[in-house]
Amino acid sequence: MRPPSLRLATLGCLLLGLSAPAAGRANDPAHEFFEKRVRPVLAARCYECHGPKSKARGGLRVDSRAALLRGGDHGPAIVPGKPEQSFLLRVLRHDADIKMPPKAKLPAGAIADLAAWVKLGAPWPGDVAVQASLAGDRTVFTKEQQSFWAFQRPVAVPIPTVKDTQWLKSPVDAFILARLEAKGLRPAPPADRRTLIRRVTFDLTGLPPSPQEVDAFLKDRSPDAFARVVDRLLASPQYGERWGRHWLDVARFADSNGMDENLVQANAWRYRDYVLAAFNRDLSYDRFVREQLAGDLLPAASEAERAERIIATGFLSLGPKMLAEDDPVKMEMDIVDEQVDTMAKVFLGLTLGCARCHDHKFDPLPTADYYALAGIFKSTKTMDHFRVVARWHEQPLPSREALVHQQEHQKKVDAKRAEMAKATEAAARKRLQAELAALEKARPVPPMAQAVSEGTPGNLRIHLRGSHLTLGREVPRRFPRILAGEEQAAVAAKQSGRLQLAEWLTRTHNPLTARVMVNRLWHWHFGAGLVRSPDNFGALGEGDAPTDPAIEHLPAVGERGQS
């Protein structure tokens, strides 16, 4: 169900893969019980010593489900579903050496409510609610999290049956017409041909049609006249310039890094041209993704293809990056954070950057999964060094012509050095030395690209509260477990993991990569995506699960010109 290419011509059939089971958002009785009977007790009687503004006595916080699962000096405070095994209930009942609250026992009704809540599984609205297993680095996601619509694989949706089959120009039209007919409505009348060619030309190229193009279309009454106009526009260089700009915005492209030291990135233009060419060549989306994350690690059939794939990794090198941070470790981790956050939003529509300091508050993205991905980018060479002012990494591009030029220049240098060795007069040696210096200064520089390469591979330890000065346990490099599961192949010790990440993102069973890109195409084409927040398909995203596939408010693209 992945988008086969970057062309909008594929949009209609792709949309059929967006359908997913609707995500119900009715009030949850368990959550209501928690809000009315449990949270008030914790806030009133426990937060003073174990809340967000306390020193967390005994290492225990009780202001989130994750904190209770993690526990304190005496281990986990609760075992969801098992109040009799939950340390919290024992101390509240004063059945342990430690008695809480120490001065006065909670009322029996309040303790009973807490026990009932734990027996329900300890639901906590708004908390990531992942259970850290005592058996190691495993997590148990709730059924609600696992069934969230964005994490389900896209499924093929049967094309609905309609009465007015003559109106249909594409499969998408059937979904629109079925909804209209169900409500006793009719489609709007078709746009006139002059309006239609203006709309489609503006939409695909950002430019108006020429008078000659308008006249030719008005005179062409063949059945495929409009289709040939679309094909001509898709084949024009202006198509890539228009639609490549959308991707450059997503990829945070600029000719300088911004931030504290706003330095010009002299070779950033190569990535810009790569993107425009990708759209104009109708590059497959899978390859587009893989090249930007790991192009330098992919096989190439020619020097030109090798150069192109190196340039594509500029995706990771570009963007706002602090270059004058006094702490080199913090600078590196800030750059890694920018890469993790960008990658997750662009390709997965997830705000994974929120998990740098703590488990994501609304989506099942634990901090451990953040640092698992951060380890991949920490193992990638993005900068030549992290001294103030830091310098981004560049790679020479393979070029036979440039190599020949360098070899010819080196012959001139060698000849001049040999001439110097034979010179005996001081004046002659001085002259030859000046000529050699001029040759050295004029040494040809091979074409360079702002790009990344493999660094020193290694896993990261969790940075407690996001600080590199306070380290927790080490986590292996891997992908978000809510999507990729617990059983993942280990990243080879001598590899960063970028190639494996690129391959995982473009697998057919990945539920988000295609869905997020199709939504972007819809957003760019119509001004609003099926999910209104194209960078956020999580619980706080603007939109529920697509249904049927939720296009009733959006027009179709066809000869009727309702775009």
Q: Distance from first CA to last CA of the chain, Å, rounded? A: 24
| Pair 254, 282 in one domain | yes
More confident residue, 335 or 36: 335
In a domain, 202, yes or no: yes
Half-sphere exposure of 333 (CA within 13 A, CB side): 18
Give the pLDDT band (50/70/90) at residue 320: very high
Burial (CB count <10 Å: 0-12, 13-18, 19+), residue 426:
exposed
Percent of the chain with pLDDT over 90: 68
Q: Which of 489, 505, 521 is the last residue of a domain?
A: 505
Answer for the pair 393, 332: CB distance below 8 angstroms, yes or no.
Answer: no
In a domain, 184, yes or no: no
Mean pLDDT of 523-530: 91
Q: Which residues of 245-269 are buried (b: 16+ CB within 10 A; e: fewer)?
A: bbbbebbebbeebebeeebebebbe
Q: How far is 346 from 535, CA to CA, in rounded Å?
A: 6
Omega cis (within 30) before 101: yes
The secondary structure of residue 155, as a DSSP letter, is -
Q: How far is 374 from 333, CA to CA, in rounded Å?
A: 8
What is the number of residues in the chain?
563
| Pair 302, 341 in one domain | yes
| Pair 210, 303 in one domain | no
| Pair 212, 253 in one domain | no
Least confident of 108-112, 143-147, 397-401: 397-401
In a domain, 423, yes or no: yes
Q: Supply the pTM of this predicted model.
A: 0.73
What is the distance, to the nearest Å, from the Cα of residue 534 to the centroid of all Cα atoms in its chain?
A: 11
| Pair 207, 309 in one domain | no
In a domain, 171, yes or no: no
Answer for the pair 146, 70: CB distance below 8 angstroms, yes or no.
Answer: no
Percent of the chain with pLDDT over 70: 89
The secondary structure of residue 264, as a DSSP letter, is B
Backbone conformation region of residue 415, classed left if phi is above 0, alpha if psi is from -120 to 50, else beta = alpha
Give the per-residue pLDDT at 543. Answer: 65
Give the per-residue pLDDT at 550. Answer: 40
pLDDT at 307 over 80: yes
Answer for the pair 484, 478: CB distance below 8 angstroms, yes or no.
Answer: yes
Mean pLDDT of 313-323: 95
Backbone angles phi, psi at 472, to 5 degrees: -105, -145
Count other C-beta atoms under 10 Å from residue 45's C-beta: 18
| Pair 77, 205 in one domain | no
**353-388 pLDDT, tens per residue?**
999 999 998 999 999 999 999 999 999 999 999 999
Backbone angles phi, psi at 177, to 5 degrees: -65, -35
Q: How far is 377 from 394, CA to CA, in rounded Å?
A: 16
Long-range contacts of 327-333 (CB under 8 A, 24+ apart): 328/386, 328/387, 329/386, 329/468, 330/468, 331/386, 331/390, 332/378, 332/383, 332/386, 333/374, 333/378, 333/463, 333/468
Give the per-residue pLDDT at 216. Answer: 97
When divided into structural domains, the chain yields a total of 4
pLDDT at 231 over 50: yes
| Pair 461, 335 in one domain | yes
| Pair 246, 365 in one domain | yes
The secondary structure of residue 256, as a DSSP letter, is B
Structural tokens at position 198? 């203006």
Least confident of 89-103, 362-376, 541-555: 541-555
| Pair 441, 460 in one domain | no
| Pair 250, 308 in one domain | yes
Q: How far is 173 from 167, CA to CA, in rounded Å?
A: 8
Q: Which of 211, 235, 259 is the last residue of a domain?
A: 235
pLDDT at 327 over 50: yes
| Pair 330, 476 in one domain | yes
In a domain, 8, yes or no: no
Mean pLDDT of 251-280: 95
More confident residue, 551 or 149: 149
Residue 412: strand, helix, or coil? helix
Q: How far is 90 from 361, CA to CA, in rounded Å?
A: 28
Residue type for position 18: L
> Could you tell me the residue range of the domain that residue 199 belongs to?
193-235
More confident residue, 466 or 559: 466
| Pair 355, 319 in one domain | yes
Mean pLDDT of 150-154: 90
Least confident of 29-33, 61-65, 151-155, 423-427: 29-33
**180-221 pLDDT, tens per residue?**
999 999 999 999 999 999 999 999 999 999 999 999 999 999
Which H or E run includes 428?
A: helix 426-441
Backbone angles phi, psi at 206, to 5 degrees: 75, 10
Mean pLDDT of 293-317: 97
Mean pLDDT of 16-43: 65
Give the pLDDT band (50/70/90) at residue 4: low
Mean pLDDT of 297-321: 96
Give the per-residue pLDDT at 25. Answer: 40
Give the per-residue pLDDT at 438. Answer: 92
**63-77, 175-189, 531-545: which is most confident:** 175-189
Mean pLDDT of 546-555: 42
Give the pLDDT band (50/70/90) at residue 561: very low
Answer for the pair 436, 360: CB distance below 8 angstroms, yes or no.
Answer: no
Q: Which residues pair with 72 in a beta bridge?
A: 75
**448-507 pLDDT, tens per residue?**
999 999 999 999 999 998 999 999 999 999 999 999 999 999 999 999 999 999 999 999
Mean pLDDT of 247-255: 96
In a domain, 152, yes or no: no
Give the pLDDT band (50/70/90) at residue 7: low
Mean pLDDT of 5-26: 44
pLDDT at 19 over 70: no
Give the pLDDT band (50/70/90) at residue 85: very high
Q: Which of 235, 263, 289 is the last residue of a domain?
A: 235
Sign of CA dihedral 84, 88, 93, 97: positive
Count other C-beta atoms under 10 Å from residue 460's C-beta: 23
In a domain, 12, yes or no: no
Answer for the pair 333, 271: CB distance below 8 angstroms, yes or no.
Answer: no
Q: How far is 533 from 542, CA to CA, in rounded Å?
A: 5
Mean pLDDT of 216-227: 96
Residues 6 or more apart whose Cβ sits within 8 Å of residue 100:
46, 91, 92
Residue ranges in 60-136 assigned as alpha helix (H): 65-70, 87-92, 108-119
In a domain, 221, yes or no: yes
Angle at CA of residue 17, ends 15 and 18, nearest 5°: 70
Q: Compute the radius of gyration of the chain from its Cα atoms.
A: 30
**36-46 pLDDT, tens per residue?**
889 889 988 99
Angstrom distances, CA of residue 160 to CA of 157, 171, 182, 355:
9, 9, 11, 42
Closest to 374 in 3D by CA, of 343, 403, 405: 343
Give the per-residue pLDDT at 22. Answer: 36
Give the per-residue pLDDT at 402. Answer: 74
DSSP state string for 352-364: GGGGGTSS-SSSS
